[in-house]
Amino acid sequence: MFSILIFILYIYILMKGFKAEKNEGILPLLFMLVGVGFELIRIHSPFMKNTNVDFSGGMIINTISAYILNPFYASLVAAVSSIAPKIHLIRKIHIVKYIFNFSQIGITTFVTSYVMSKVDSLTLAVITGLSVYLFLNHIFVSTVLTFESEEDFLGNLKKLLMFSFPNLLFIFPATLIILVLYKYVGFISFPLSIALLVSVQAGIYYRKLYEESKIESMIALLKSLEERDSYTYSHSKRVSDYSYKIARRLGLKKTHCERIKTAALLHDIGKIGIPDYILNKPATLSDREFEVIKEHPVKSWELLKTIKRFEKHEALWVKLHHERIDGSGYPGGLKEDEIPIESKIIAVADIYDALTTDRPYRKAMSPKEAVELMRKLAGKAIDPKIFETFVKILEEEGKL
Protein backbone atom coordinates (compact mmCIF):
# COMPACT_ATOMS: atom_id res chain seq x y z
CA MET A 1 0.00 0.00 0.00
CA PHE A 2 2.81 2.41 0.93
CA SER A 3 4.58 1.67 -2.37
CA ILE A 4 1.42 2.47 -4.35
CA LEU A 5 0.99 5.77 -2.48
CA ILE A 6 4.58 6.74 -3.32
CA PHE A 7 3.94 5.86 -6.98
CA ILE A 8 0.76 7.98 -7.08
CA LEU A 9 2.61 10.90 -5.46
CA TYR A 10 5.35 10.70 -8.07
CA ILE A 11 2.88 10.56 -10.95
CA TYR A 12 1.27 13.70 -9.50
CA ILE A 13 4.69 15.44 -9.42
CA LEU A 14 5.31 14.45 -13.06
CA MET A 15 1.91 15.73 -14.21
CA LYS A 16 2.43 19.05 -12.44
CA GLY A 17 5.93 19.29 -13.90
CA PHE A 18 4.86 18.67 -17.48
CA LYS A 19 2.41 21.54 -17.23
CA ALA A 20 4.60 24.02 -15.36
CA GLU A 21 8.21 23.55 -16.51
CA LYS A 22 9.72 24.87 -19.73
CA ASN A 23 11.46 22.55 -22.15
CA GLU A 24 15.21 22.40 -21.40
CA GLY A 25 16.05 20.93 -24.79
CA ILE A 26 18.41 17.99 -25.11
CA LEU A 27 20.14 18.49 -21.73
CA PRO A 28 17.81 16.21 -19.66
CA LEU A 29 18.17 13.45 -22.29
CA LEU A 30 21.97 13.70 -22.08
CA PHE A 31 21.76 13.51 -18.29
CA MET A 32 19.61 10.38 -18.59
CA LEU A 33 22.24 8.70 -20.77
CA VAL A 34 25.00 9.68 -18.34
CA GLY A 35 22.79 8.59 -15.44
CA VAL A 36 22.52 5.10 -16.90
CA GLY A 37 26.32 5.00 -17.08
CA PHE A 38 26.65 6.01 -13.43
CA GLU A 39 23.97 3.50 -12.37
CA LEU A 40 25.96 0.69 -13.99
CA ILE A 41 29.08 1.51 -11.94
CA ARG A 42 29.23 -0.40 -8.66
CA ILE A 43 31.13 1.75 -6.17
CA HIS A 44 32.93 0.43 -3.10
CA SER A 45 34.28 3.22 -0.93
CA PRO A 46 37.97 2.95 0.03
CA PHE A 47 36.78 3.86 3.55
CA MET A 48 34.52 0.77 3.77
CA LYS A 49 37.06 -1.81 4.89
CA ASN A 50 36.22 -5.36 5.94
CA THR A 51 32.85 -5.27 4.22
CA ASN A 52 31.35 -6.22 0.89
CA VAL A 53 28.85 -3.36 0.90
CA ASP A 54 28.81 -1.31 -2.29
CA PHE A 55 26.37 0.99 -4.11
CA SER A 56 25.67 2.35 -7.58
CA GLY A 57 26.95 5.70 -8.82
CA GLY A 58 23.34 6.85 -9.17
CA MET A 59 23.43 8.96 -6.03
CA ILE A 60 26.29 11.00 -7.50
CA ILE A 61 24.63 11.80 -10.84
CA ASN A 62 21.21 12.32 -9.21
CA THR A 63 22.67 14.93 -6.86
CA ILE A 64 24.47 16.62 -9.77
CA SER A 65 21.23 16.63 -11.81
CA ALA A 66 19.44 18.10 -8.80
CA TYR A 67 21.93 21.00 -8.76
CA ILE A 68 22.04 21.72 -12.50
CA LEU A 69 18.47 20.99 -13.66
CA ASN A 70 15.16 22.20 -12.27
CA PRO A 71 13.42 19.84 -9.79
CA PHE A 72 11.05 18.32 -12.34
CA TYR A 73 13.70 17.37 -14.91
CA ALA A 74 16.13 16.28 -12.19
CA SER A 75 13.54 13.85 -10.80
CA LEU A 76 12.74 12.55 -14.29
CA VAL A 77 16.46 11.96 -15.00
CA ALA A 78 16.88 10.11 -11.69
CA ALA A 79 13.83 7.91 -12.19
CA VAL A 80 14.59 6.97 -15.79
CA SER A 81 18.30 6.35 -15.25
CA SER A 82 17.54 4.16 -12.21
CA ILE A 83 15.17 1.83 -14.07
CA ALA A 84 16.76 1.73 -17.53
CA PRO A 85 19.72 -0.56 -16.58
CA LYS A 86 17.30 -2.91 -14.79
CA ILE A 87 14.51 -3.07 -17.37
CA HIS A 88 15.51 -6.65 -18.22
CA LEU A 89 14.83 -7.66 -14.60
CA ILE A 90 11.23 -6.50 -14.61
CA ARG A 91 9.95 -10.08 -14.88
CA LYS A 92 12.08 -11.21 -11.96
CA ILE A 93 11.37 -8.27 -9.63
CA HIS A 94 7.94 -7.83 -8.05
CA ILE A 95 6.27 -5.04 -10.05
CA VAL A 96 5.26 -3.14 -6.89
CA LYS A 97 8.88 -3.07 -5.71
CA TYR A 98 9.94 -1.95 -9.17
CA ILE A 99 7.60 1.03 -9.32
CA PHE A 100 8.37 1.93 -5.70
CA ASN A 101 12.07 2.06 -6.41
CA PHE A 102 11.97 4.53 -9.30
CA SER A 103 9.15 6.53 -7.67
CA GLN A 104 10.98 7.09 -4.40
CA ILE A 105 14.20 7.97 -6.26
CA GLY A 106 12.26 10.47 -8.37
CA ILE A 107 10.60 12.08 -5.33
CA THR A 108 13.87 12.11 -3.39
CA THR A 109 15.69 13.85 -6.25
CA PHE A 110 12.82 16.32 -6.71
CA VAL A 111 13.00 17.44 -3.08
CA THR A 112 16.82 17.44 -3.16
CA SER A 113 16.82 19.70 -6.23
CA TYR A 114 14.35 22.12 -4.65
CA VAL A 115 16.45 22.38 -1.46
CA MET A 116 19.73 22.79 -3.37
CA SER A 117 18.25 25.63 -5.43
CA LYS A 118 17.92 27.63 -2.21
CA VAL A 119 21.64 27.34 -1.36
CA ASP A 120 24.15 29.70 -3.00
CA SER A 121 27.49 28.08 -2.09
CA LEU A 122 28.41 25.09 -4.29
CA THR A 123 30.10 23.19 -1.45
CA LEU A 124 27.23 23.82 0.95
CA ALA A 125 24.70 22.90 -1.75
CA VAL A 126 26.43 19.54 -2.31
CA ILE A 127 26.57 18.82 1.44
CA THR A 128 22.92 19.79 1.86
CA GLY A 129 21.82 17.93 -1.26
CA LEU A 130 23.57 14.68 -0.33
CA SER A 131 22.21 14.87 3.22
CA VAL A 132 18.64 15.42 2.04
CA TYR A 133 18.94 12.74 -0.66
CA LEU A 134 20.36 10.15 1.73
CA PHE A 135 17.89 10.94 4.51
CA LEU A 136 14.77 10.81 2.31
CA ASN A 137 15.94 7.69 0.46
CA HIS A 138 16.53 5.87 3.74
CA ILE A 139 13.20 7.06 5.17
CA PHE A 140 11.38 5.54 2.20
CA VAL A 141 13.36 2.28 2.19
CA SER A 142 13.16 1.89 6.00
CA THR A 143 9.38 2.31 5.87
CA VAL A 144 9.03 -0.46 3.27
CA LEU A 145 11.42 -2.75 5.18
CA THR A 146 9.37 -2.19 8.35
CA PHE A 147 6.27 -3.53 6.59
CA GLU A 148 8.21 -6.51 5.19
CA SER A 149 10.29 -7.53 8.24
CA GLU A 150 10.10 -7.84 12.00
CA GLU A 151 12.60 -4.99 12.48
CA ASP A 152 11.21 -1.67 13.67
CA PHE A 153 11.51 1.51 11.62
CA LEU A 154 14.34 3.05 13.65
CA GLY A 155 16.27 -0.23 13.59
CA ASN A 156 16.10 -0.37 9.79
CA LEU A 157 17.01 3.32 9.46
CA LYS A 158 20.00 2.92 11.78
CA LYS A 159 21.35 -0.02 9.75
CA LEU A 160 21.05 1.84 6.45
CA LEU A 161 22.72 4.97 7.81
CA MET A 162 25.51 2.93 9.39
CA PHE A 163 26.46 1.43 6.02
CA SER A 164 25.93 4.64 4.04
CA PHE A 165 27.86 7.17 6.12
CA PRO A 166 31.38 5.89 5.27
CA ASN A 167 30.41 5.94 1.59
CA LEU A 168 29.65 9.67 1.88
CA LEU A 169 33.34 10.23 2.52
CA PHE A 170 33.82 9.08 -1.08
CA ILE A 171 30.59 10.40 -2.65
CA PHE A 172 30.95 14.01 -1.41
CA PRO A 173 34.36 14.80 -2.97
CA ALA A 174 33.45 12.87 -6.13
CA THR A 175 30.23 14.88 -6.58
CA LEU A 176 31.92 18.19 -5.83
CA ILE A 177 34.83 17.53 -8.22
CA ILE A 178 32.50 16.54 -11.08
CA LEU A 179 30.39 19.68 -10.59
CA VAL A 180 33.50 21.90 -10.61
CA LEU A 181 34.70 20.16 -13.78
CA TYR A 182 31.26 20.69 -15.36
CA LYS A 183 31.52 24.42 -14.69
CA TYR A 184 34.85 24.64 -16.52
CA VAL A 185 34.72 22.05 -19.32
CA GLY A 186 30.99 21.38 -19.71
CA PHE A 187 29.35 18.06 -20.46
CA ILE A 188 32.63 16.33 -21.36
CA SER A 189 33.29 16.19 -17.60
CA PHE A 190 30.79 13.32 -17.26
CA PRO A 191 32.40 10.70 -19.54
CA LEU A 192 35.76 11.70 -18.04
CA SER A 193 34.33 11.19 -14.55
CA ILE A 194 32.85 7.80 -15.46
CA ALA A 195 36.25 6.70 -16.80
CA LEU A 196 37.95 7.93 -13.60
CA LEU A 197 35.40 6.21 -11.33
CA VAL A 198 35.76 2.95 -13.25
CA SER A 199 39.55 3.19 -12.88
CA VAL A 200 39.31 3.83 -9.12
CA GLN A 201 36.85 0.98 -8.65
CA ALA A 202 39.01 -1.35 -10.73
CA GLY A 203 41.92 -0.54 -8.41
CA ILE A 204 39.80 -1.25 -5.32
CA TYR A 205 38.46 -4.45 -6.90
CA TYR A 206 41.90 -5.83 -7.76
CA ARG A 207 43.30 -4.87 -4.36
CA LYS A 208 40.38 -6.72 -2.77
CA LEU A 209 40.98 -9.68 -5.09
CA TYR A 210 44.64 -9.73 -4.08
CA GLU A 211 43.72 -9.68 -0.38
CA GLU A 212 41.23 -12.52 -0.88
CA SER A 213 43.82 -14.58 -2.74
CA LYS A 214 46.19 -14.15 0.21
CA ILE A 215 43.48 -15.35 2.60
CA GLU A 216 42.79 -18.36 0.37
CA SER A 217 46.52 -19.07 0.39
CA MET A 218 46.50 -18.99 4.20
CA ILE A 219 43.62 -21.46 4.31
CA ALA A 220 45.38 -23.68 1.77
CA LEU A 221 48.50 -23.47 3.95
CA LEU A 222 46.45 -24.45 6.98
CA LYS A 223 44.98 -27.42 5.10
CA SER A 224 48.47 -28.48 4.07
CA LEU A 225 49.24 -28.87 7.77
CA GLU A 226 46.96 -31.91 7.70
CA GLU A 227 49.72 -33.73 5.86
CA ARG A 228 51.98 -33.12 8.86
CA ASP A 229 49.43 -32.87 11.66
CA SER A 230 45.94 -34.23 10.94
CA TYR A 231 44.67 -32.51 14.09
CA THR A 232 45.35 -28.86 13.24
CA TYR A 233 42.93 -28.06 10.36
CA SER A 234 39.90 -29.98 11.68
CA HIS A 235 40.59 -28.50 15.13
CA SER A 236 40.73 -24.97 13.67
CA LYS A 237 37.45 -25.51 11.82
CA ARG A 238 35.67 -26.60 15.00
CA VAL A 239 37.18 -23.75 17.03
CA SER A 240 36.00 -21.36 14.31
CA ASP A 241 32.43 -22.69 14.53
CA TYR A 242 32.39 -22.61 18.34
CA SER A 243 33.80 -19.07 18.41
CA TYR A 244 31.13 -17.82 16.02
CA LYS A 245 28.34 -19.31 18.15
CA ILE A 246 29.76 -17.79 21.34
CA ALA A 247 30.17 -14.37 19.73
CA ARG A 248 26.59 -14.42 18.42
CA ARG A 249 25.25 -15.46 21.82
CA LEU A 250 27.16 -12.61 23.46
CA GLY A 251 25.26 -10.21 21.21
CA LEU A 252 28.12 -9.05 19.00
CA LYS A 253 27.21 -7.78 15.53
CA LYS A 254 27.08 -10.38 12.79
CA THR A 255 29.95 -8.81 10.81
CA HIS A 256 32.06 -8.79 14.00
CA CYS A 257 31.19 -12.45 14.60
CA GLU A 258 32.23 -13.34 11.06
CA ARG A 259 35.62 -11.71 11.64
CA ILE A 260 36.07 -13.66 14.88
CA LYS A 261 35.15 -16.84 13.00
CA THR A 262 37.84 -16.16 10.38
CA ALA A 263 40.44 -15.34 13.03
CA ALA A 264 39.61 -18.55 14.90
CA LEU A 265 39.96 -20.59 11.71
CA LEU A 266 43.47 -19.20 11.26
CA HIS A 267 44.50 -19.09 14.93
CA ASP A 268 47.00 -21.98 14.57
CA ILE A 269 48.42 -21.03 11.16
CA GLY A 270 51.77 -20.30 12.87
CA LYS A 271 52.19 -24.03 13.56
CA ILE A 272 53.41 -24.28 9.97
CA GLY A 273 56.77 -23.20 11.41
CA ILE A 274 56.85 -25.79 14.22
CA PRO A 275 58.96 -28.94 13.60
CA ASP A 276 57.06 -32.21 12.98
CA TYR A 277 58.69 -34.07 15.86
CA ILE A 278 57.23 -31.52 18.30
CA LEU A 279 53.79 -31.27 16.66
CA ASN A 280 53.29 -35.04 16.65
CA LYS A 281 55.26 -36.04 19.76
CA PRO A 282 53.33 -38.88 21.49
CA ALA A 283 54.60 -37.89 24.94
CA THR A 284 54.66 -34.81 27.14
CA LEU A 285 56.78 -32.01 25.68
CA SER A 286 60.03 -31.02 27.34
CA ASP A 287 60.43 -27.47 28.62
CA ARG A 288 62.48 -26.54 25.55
CA GLU A 289 59.92 -28.08 23.18
CA PHE A 290 57.10 -26.30 24.95
CA GLU A 291 58.93 -23.00 24.49
CA VAL A 292 58.99 -23.74 20.74
CA ILE A 293 55.24 -24.49 20.72
CA LYS A 294 54.60 -21.21 22.55
CA GLU A 295 56.00 -19.38 19.54
CA HIS A 296 53.06 -20.32 17.30
CA PRO A 297 50.68 -17.45 18.30
CA VAL A 298 53.38 -14.92 17.39
CA LYS A 299 54.12 -16.78 14.15
CA SER A 300 50.38 -16.72 13.37
CA TRP A 301 50.31 -12.96 14.06
CA GLU A 302 53.29 -12.39 11.78
CA LEU A 303 51.56 -14.24 8.93
CA LEU A 304 48.14 -12.64 9.38
CA LYS A 305 49.39 -9.06 9.67
CA THR A 306 50.69 -9.32 6.09
CA ILE A 307 47.01 -9.19 5.04
CA LYS A 308 45.88 -5.55 5.28
CA ARG A 309 42.35 -6.26 6.48
CA PHE A 310 43.71 -8.47 9.28
CA GLU A 311 46.68 -6.40 10.46
CA LYS A 312 44.90 -4.31 13.14
CA HIS A 313 42.40 -6.79 14.56
CA GLU A 314 42.36 -10.46 13.51
CA ALA A 315 46.15 -10.76 13.68
CA LEU A 316 46.15 -9.35 17.23
CA TRP A 317 43.25 -11.56 18.39
CA VAL A 318 45.13 -14.63 17.20
CA LYS A 319 48.39 -13.50 18.80
CA LEU A 320 46.72 -13.17 22.21
CA HIS A 321 44.50 -16.27 22.28
CA HIS A 322 46.87 -18.04 24.72
CA GLU A 323 46.87 -15.20 27.24
CA ARG A 324 45.26 -16.04 30.61
CA ILE A 325 43.00 -13.97 32.86
CA ASP A 326 45.45 -14.32 35.76
CA GLY A 327 48.41 -13.10 33.67
CA SER A 328 50.19 -16.48 33.42
CA GLY A 329 49.61 -16.89 29.68
CA TYR A 330 51.78 -16.05 26.69
CA PRO A 331 53.27 -14.31 24.75
CA GLY A 332 52.73 -11.08 26.75
CA GLY A 333 51.49 -12.18 30.18
CA LEU A 334 48.41 -9.95 29.82
CA LYS A 335 45.62 -9.92 32.42
CA GLU A 336 41.82 -9.62 32.39
CA ASP A 337 40.71 -6.52 30.40
CA GLU A 338 44.12 -6.24 28.74
CA ILE A 339 43.08 -9.27 26.67
CA PRO A 340 40.61 -8.53 23.82
CA ILE A 341 37.22 -10.22 24.16
CA GLU A 342 37.78 -11.81 20.73
CA SER A 343 40.91 -13.57 22.02
CA LYS A 344 39.02 -14.71 25.13
CA ILE A 345 36.28 -16.21 22.93
CA ILE A 346 38.80 -18.09 20.79
CA ALA A 347 40.58 -19.30 23.95
CA VAL A 348 37.42 -20.91 25.37
CA ALA A 349 36.61 -22.63 22.07
CA ASP A 350 40.25 -23.68 21.63
CA ILE A 351 40.60 -25.26 25.09
CA TYR A 352 37.29 -27.13 24.84
CA ASP A 353 38.09 -28.63 21.46
CA ALA A 354 41.63 -29.53 22.54
CA LEU A 355 40.28 -31.37 25.59
CA THR A 356 37.57 -33.25 23.65
CA THR A 357 39.87 -34.40 20.82
CA ASP A 358 42.36 -37.29 20.75
CA ARG A 359 45.95 -36.11 20.84
CA PRO A 360 49.17 -38.14 20.33
CA TYR A 361 49.89 -37.98 24.08
CA ARG A 362 46.36 -38.54 25.52
CA LYS A 363 42.81 -39.66 24.80
CA ALA A 364 39.93 -37.25 24.37
CA MET A 365 37.77 -36.27 27.35
CA SER A 366 34.00 -36.41 27.22
CA PRO A 367 32.24 -33.02 26.87
CA LYS A 368 31.12 -33.25 30.50
CA GLU A 369 34.66 -33.97 31.75
CA ALA A 370 36.06 -31.12 29.65
CA VAL A 371 33.50 -28.66 31.01
CA GLU A 372 34.23 -29.71 34.61
CA LEU A 373 37.94 -29.13 34.07
CA MET A 374 37.32 -25.79 32.36
CA ARG A 375 35.08 -24.72 35.24
CA LYS A 376 38.16 -24.90 37.49
CA LEU A 377 40.01 -22.67 34.99
CA ALA A 378 37.23 -20.04 34.86
CA GLY A 379 38.49 -16.79 36.35
CA LYS A 380 42.09 -18.01 36.15
CA ALA A 381 42.80 -19.05 32.58
CA ILE A 382 39.51 -18.24 30.85
CA ASP A 383 36.80 -15.61 31.12
CA PRO A 384 33.97 -16.98 33.34
CA LYS A 385 31.18 -15.13 31.49
CA ILE A 386 32.32 -16.41 28.11
CA PHE A 387 32.75 -19.92 29.54
CA GLU A 388 29.20 -19.99 30.99
CA THR A 389 27.83 -18.70 27.69
CA PHE A 390 29.55 -21.58 25.90
CA VAL A 391 28.21 -24.10 28.45
CA LYS A 392 24.64 -22.94 27.69
CA ILE A 393 25.28 -23.46 23.97
CA LEU A 394 26.55 -27.00 24.61
CA GLU A 395 23.52 -27.74 26.79
CA GLU A 396 21.11 -26.51 24.12
CA GLU A 397 22.87 -28.66 21.53
CA GLY A 398 22.48 -31.72 23.78
CA LYS A 399 26.21 -32.23 24.27
CA LEU A 400 26.02 -32.07 28.06
Q: Could you give the domains of the chain?
A: 2-208 (1.10.1760.20), 228-396 (1.10.3210.10)
pTM above the 0.95 mark?
no
SS3 string, 234-293, reads: HHHHHHHHHHHHHHHHCCCCHHHHHHHHHHHHCCCHHHHHCCHHHHCCCCCCCHHHHHHH
- Based on the number of CB atoms within 10 Å of its own CB, is 102 exposed (0-12), middle (13-18) or buried (19 or more)? buried
What's the rounded Cα separation, in Å, for the pair 251 and 240? 17
pLDDT, residue 243, reads 96
pLDDT, residue 144, reads 79
DSSP code string of 149-169: SSS-HHHHHHHHHHHHHHHHH
- Report the DSSP beta bridge partners of residue 42: 56
Task: Calculate the CA dihedral of residues 167, 171, 172, 174 and round it to 10 degrees.
Answer: 150
10-residue mean pLDDT series, the chain (400 residues): 79 74 74 79 57 65 89 88 64 70 88 91 91 88 77 77 73 87 84 76 70 74 64 81 95 92 90 75 76 86 87 93 92 92 96 86 85 92 94 89
In a 3-state reduction of DSSP, which class is residue 57? coil
What's the rounded Cα separation, in Å, for the pair 179 and 61? 10
pLDDT in tens, 115-168: 999 998 999 999 999 989 988 888 888 887 787 666 777 777 777 777 777 677
pLDDT, residue 382, reads 93
pLDDT, residue 125, reads 92
Q: Peptide bond before 340: cis, by omega within 30 degrees of 0?
A: no
User: Which residue, among 32, 12, 126, has the nearest Cα to 79 in the 3D structure?
Assistant: 32
What's the rounded Cα separation, in Å, for the pair 317 and 260? 8
Q: In 43-79, which positions are buried (b, 16+ CB within 10 angstroms) versus exposed (e)?
A: bbbeebeeeeebbbbbbbbbbbbbbbbbbbbbbbbbb
pLDDT, residue 70, reads 87
pLDDT, residue 230, reads 59
